[in-house]
Amino acid sequence: MNGWSISSLGLILVIACLVAMITRRLGLPYSVGLVAAGLALALGPTTGQFELSSELILQILLPPLIFEGALQLEWKRFRRELPVTLTLAFGGVIIGACLIASGMHYLLGWSWLGAAFFGALIAATDPVSVIAAFREMKAEPRLSMVVESESLLNDGVAAVAFAILLLVAGGVEPTGGFVALSALTTIGAGIAAGAVAAAAVLIIAGRTDDHLVEITLTTVAAYGSYMLAEHWHGSGVLASLTAGLMIGNFGWMGSISDDGRDYILGFWEYVAFLANSVVFILIGFHAAHQPLTLWPAAIAISLVLLGRALAVYPLALPFSRSSLKLPASHMHVLFWGGLRGALGLALALSVPASVPERQQIVVLAFAVVAFSVFVQGLTMPWLLRRLRLVESDEHD
């Protein structure tokens, strides 16, 4: 990681520990405290350089976070909610991206390509932010399952849309057949890569009871599935998601020892804490260095919120007369809890320099993420308590 040192990483870890202790005492979301610490770090004397690049997020920090999130999903409950989460993930990202892109084009005069890039990368909720927040707040089980599953799935949808736009930016004609084939290829290759990596790991893990070997094999699955998918021109996000789901559900059936399961879950809980700490502190650190653009930022934030509303409330209506009905309280949380974070920033940093609005895209992505973390993140605990959707309320 260019620009990084052992002292830089050590400083971030110390800050993360202090923030975790303080925010839990104050009852504040951990992610908000980390971003605030990153802002403070940027404004004061720093002992090192903290480079934020798309490679750092996408290739180092995102795969284990996606894998850990999927590892904790129970397949039976995940499959039951799949019609809802797939509808919200695919339909929601498409509706949100189209609305945001149109707004950026007509209201700010952006080119259609630049507007489409911004719409695609910011329309999806971010699994890093969403999973960290909802686990910390101990939201009601079904709500947590829907929110977390949707964030993991629409993450892959956004990545696929972004990959198609990269081809268009390279000069490929975006015909309907091309878009459909590219999407199917990217999704299929990603799922296949995750399944292959997970199957290989489970076969090898079934021959040992050494928990250290089992932990190492799951690490190989998390990163190996992502790398294999990228090599096959598939979605690395969907690959890590598939690998995590397979190992988290089929691995406990015999391939991974009973003792190894506890060690693996503990290890990945720590990895998620570490990766989340680095991601959110870096978001705060780099947000402090972005130029202030109030009017474009207000437009972007308004479009993102409107797009999210259109992605949640209308798409939930078809399930209103079925067992998968989402209560109004759940829809309100899905709307306001659609947090944005590291994925959107990573994709913004990956926009080609040939796109005229690239710098504006990066600046406005930081603005949307800052609003998401501080405004939505800080008010989410209050909203969950207000709607009586926090597990601990029942015990209290």
Render pLDDT for 298-351 as a digit per residue (tens, 0 to 9): 999 999 999 999 999 999 999 988 999 999 999 999 999 888 888 888 889 899
Residue type, 379: T
Both tokens assigned to 97 = 């991206």
Q: What single DSSP character describes residue 88?
A: I
Q: What angle do CA 326, 332, 334 make, to 5 degrees?
A: 75
| Rounded mean pLDDT, 270-282 | 87
The whole-number average pLDDT for the span 149-153 is 85
What counts of helices (H) and strands (E) characterise the chain? 20, 0
Looking at the predicted structure, is the pLDDT value of residue 268 above 50?
yes
Q: Is the pLDDT of residue 277 over 90?
A: no
> pTM value?
0.86
Measured between alpha carbons, how far is residue 28 from residues 21, 215, 281, 337 in Å? Answer: 10, 32, 16, 15
**What mean pLDDT value characterizes the chain?**
86
Collapsed DSSP state (helix, strand, coil) of residue 380: helix
Could you tell me how far CA 249 lies from the centroid of its own chain? 21
pLDDT exceeds 70 at position 28? yes
Q: Is the pLDDT score of 383 beyond 90?
A: no
Handedness of CA 97, 100, 104, 107 (dihedral sign): positive
What's the token pair of residue 352?
């080609």
Phi, psi of 381 (to 5 degrees): -60, -40
Of the listed ranges 114-123, 190-199, 215-224, 273-282, the least confidently predicted one is 273-282
